[in-house]
Amino acid sequence: MEYIVFFTAILVLVGSISLAMPSKSSRKISKVRLEAKLLGCKISSTLYGNNKFKNQSSISASYQIKNETNLKDAHFIRDKEQLILYSPVKLKYSDSFDSIKNNLEDASDSLIEIIFTKSLILFLWNEKNGIEDLRVILKNLNKINYF
């Protein structure tokens, strides 16, 4: 009887410790998010608060950077293999729309949704692709100009 109590206590202790330890994937995402903050990204949860994104996937974090482009109002959503303009429709008929779309398409296939506001660029991407993918996304977002 004493052995049963002893082994039960050990199992409870080992179980609680293993639940407290992060998994490999959560450690990898944590490392990516730390490096993203060093690159100037602000990371916020999409699960709580006012969510402007239309994508209802399992992405739990949105990234924000300062909008240094001339594009102040646009919303792009990935539909299958390409990013499509969600709003405003008038942007589609501008002269520089093709260059904007090409820059966004060149950014990454892991880019899911992008919102340009006056002060911020908010975007969702697949964090599992790593920090190099984020660097490419940030580089291409900063190349966008709209006249």
Mapped onto helix, strand or coil, the DSSP state of residue 61 is strand
**Confidence check: pLDDT of 49 > 60:** no
- In tens, the pLDDT along 13-48 reads 877 777 777 788 888 888 999 999 999 999 988 766
Say what the pLDDT of residue 147 is.
47
- In tens, the pLDDT along 50-98 reads 667 776 666 778 899 999 888 888 899 988 888 888 888 888 888 888 8
Prediction pTM value: 0.78
Mapped onto helix, strand or coil, the DSSP state of residue 91 is helix
- In tens, the pLDDT along 95-145 reads 888 888 888 888 888 888 999 999 999 999 888 888 999 999 988 888 886
What's the rounded Cα separation, in Å, for the pair 33 and 122?
15
What's the rounded Cα separation, in Å, for the pair 23 and 9?
24
Neighbour-count burial for 95-134, b at 16+ CB within 10 Å, e otherwise: eeeeebbebbeebbebbbbbbbeeeebbbbbebebebebb
